[in-house]
Amino acid sequence: MDELRTFFSNHEDVTQLILYAVVIISLWFSEMLISGYGLKNKWKHTAVNSMFIFTALPIQLFLTGFIVYISIWANVHHWGLINFIPHHHNIWVYYISLFLLLDFCEYVYHVVMHKIDTLWKFHLVHHSDLHVDVSTTVREHPGETCVRTCCLMLWTFLLGPAIGVLILRQTFQTISNISAHTEFRLSPRANKIIGFIFITPNLHHVHHHHELPYTDCNYGDVLSIWDRLFGTHIELERDKTVFGIDTHMDENINGKFLSVIKVPFQKLERKKDHFNL
């Protein structure tokens, strides 16, 4: 048991990959059994999104090694914002503080990806999915994978979390991101209770609505508290939610992997309500 624990502690990338695969496959089959989308359509949709795994995975695995190195270096040299937080030697203060800080950093990252045109070109690939389901989770342009992982390097350098914190954080993030993209939604009562603190499918579906101001809302990664604090929290009923992004609603493009990969390198059309930082 100790050897198994040591293996997963030293191979965070493998740990996350296994967890990711188990959860996403289980939910995919659940959606297939319950959804009225149809097996043929669902499989075709999933096949396109799954192609992004082969572009993102090599980048993710390669850059994760740098994240681990930065974490080890920061802890050996007592570097990072965590060292300035009172009582940070207390394990509860240490883990909770870093979890909140890392989640806030991801909120900031998500906002920036929407507000800067160069970055938005890559992020809109994720938003261009016209049918959000669990496979949408992996629909990420390799350019964004690189930016996202490099940002995690920066957060690790600035905050100084230990490997254990990163593993815990990534575990919650993985489960949250996958569940947020499922076709399943919580009941209004459950969403009100759970969504007060955590991002739910109901809240994240609003973020995938094709028009502003909904596209620029509910940026939260695991926690919804940042959206409430900074005024980016919005709710929208399910029957009024239309997935996609209004500047890229052509199914002939969104449904073809090679066409979607080229989108960030084409001229960007912005709706007048969009603004830059």
Chain centroid to CA 96: how far?
20
25-83 pLDDT tens trace: 777 677 767 766 667 777 888 899 999 999 998 998 899 899 999 999 999 999 999 99
Q: Residue 198 pairs with which residues in a beta bridge?
A: 223
pTM > 0.85: yes or no: yes
- Would you list the DSSP string of 192-259? HHHTTTB--HHHHHHHTBSSTTGGGS---SSBSHHHHHTT------GGG--BS-TT---HHHHT-HHH
What are the domain boundaries of the chain? 2-184+260-265
99-156 pLDDT tens trace: 999 999 999 999 999 999 999 999 999 999 999 999 999 999 999 999 999 999 999 9
Q: Is the peptide bond before 58 cis (omega within 30 degrees of 0)?
A: no
